[in-house]
């Protein structure tokens, strides 16, 4: 049985889904076009766009790639792109893991 999704996680998923819809519309793409480019079904794209937190990470990342925002997403999550991550890297990561 799947774990219940917290309200914060659900709200984040909905917000991300809404943002992906805006990206799709800014590119002038239909849902069918994005689904095809992402290699997922139209139903799965719908789940991503409405913020279904149970959708697979692969589907989500495929949609981000199809919309040209995957690299921005990866960069946004990179701790070394933050002051905190750069400042604490020497303290908490073994030498072989550092970039």
**Domains of the chain (ranges plus CATH)?**
1-68 (1.10.260.40), 70-99 (no CATH)
pLDDT in tens, the chain (99 residues): 667 778 999 999 999 999 999 999 999 999 999 999 999 999 999 999 999 999 999 999 999 999 999 999 999 999 888 888 888 877 766 655 555
Reduced DSSP (H G I as helix, E B as strand, rest coil) percent helix, strand, coil of the chain, to 5: 70, 0, 30
What CA–CA distance (Å, rounded) separates 55 from 47? Answer: 7
């Amino acid at each position: 049985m799947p774990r219940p999704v917290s309200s914060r996680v659900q709200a984040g998923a909905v917000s991300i889904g809404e943002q992906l819809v805006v990206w799709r519309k800014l590119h002038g793409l239909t849902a069918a076009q994005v689904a095809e480019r992402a290699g997922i079904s139209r139903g799965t794209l719908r789940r991503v766009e409405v913020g279904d937190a149970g959708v697979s990470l692969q589907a989500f990342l495929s949609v981000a790639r199809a919309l040209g925002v995957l690299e921005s997403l990866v960069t946004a999550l990179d701790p070394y792109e933050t002051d905190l991550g750069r400042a604490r890297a020497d303290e908490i990561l073994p030498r072989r893991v550092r970039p």
